[in-house]
Amino acid sequence: MKKIIRSLFLILILLTLGCAKKFVPSDSVFINKDFDFSIIKRVAVLPFENLTEDRNAGDIIRYMVFNEIQKFIETVPLGDVEKFLRQKNIQKINELTKEDLTSLAHTLKVDALVTGHVYKYGESRTGTINLPEVAFSLVIIEPEEGSIIFGVTKSGRSDSFLAKHFGVGINTVNQLALKLVKEAVDELSKL
């Protein structure tokens, strides 16, 4: 009997571990209170690090962030940012050195750089239906020091009663992503 109980307990543990979700940070906001945000007049939106299985997730979130940010601050065209990264042969944002950040800021004449990570972008199964799930972080970097002066993490899942049972409400990943991006950029626009 003890062997059966141990076996069932072991199976329960394995099932629990197998069903565990990947780590996704919870919503949070960081603001460097010592930084004067009024000096930021122009920004560049760098690529977002994509940590999902959807190979386009980083680009999708980046374009959404770009479109929302340019509504309230001058934003360098994405093509100009891409040209700089190609010239420096930079494949990933985490390869940028402090010198690269400074050079990029001087070349593009920007006061700050925007980038981030995409942790989740897709659908997750709940019962008999798939629901959109998105999680990402957005940071603003002061290029001279290479320090983060603002950061926001947003995550969400369309799990309302209406969406679950009737497919009403936010029912696509892009709709959810845009909602979360608008919330994140709204935090930034308040500075």
- pLDDT for residue 104: 93
- pLDDT for residue 162: 63
What does each of the 191 residues of the chain score in pLDDT, given as a tens digit? Answer: 444 434 333 343 333 334 434 445 678 999 999 999 999 999 999 999 999 999 999 999 999 999 999 999 999 999 999 999 999 888 888 888 889 899 999 999 999 999 999 999 998 876 677 789 999 999 999 999 889 999 999 999 876 556 566 656 667 899 999 999 999 999 988 88
Rounded to a whole number, what is the distance in angstroms from the first to the last CA of the chain? 64
The answer to whether 138 and 177 are in contact (CB under 8 A) is: no
- pLDDT for residue 160: 59
* 3 state DSSP class of 113: strand
- pLDDT for residue 90: 85
- pLDDT for residue 177: 95
Distance CA 184, CA 137 (A): 9
What global pTM score does this model have? Answer: 0.81
Integer CA distances (angstroms), 15 to 9, 70, 91, 131, in order: 10, 46, 38, 22
The residues spanned by each domain of the chain are 23-189
- 154 HSE (CA, 13 A, CB side): 21
The answer to whether 121 and 178 are in contact (CB under 8 A) is: no
Scanning the chain, the segments in alpha helix (DSSP H) are 2-19, 57-69, 78-87, 98-108, 161-166, 173-189
> Top-level CATH class of 23-189?
alpha beta
Distance CA 78, CA 165 (A): 40
Longest dimension (CA), the chain: 73
- pLDDT for residue 14: 38
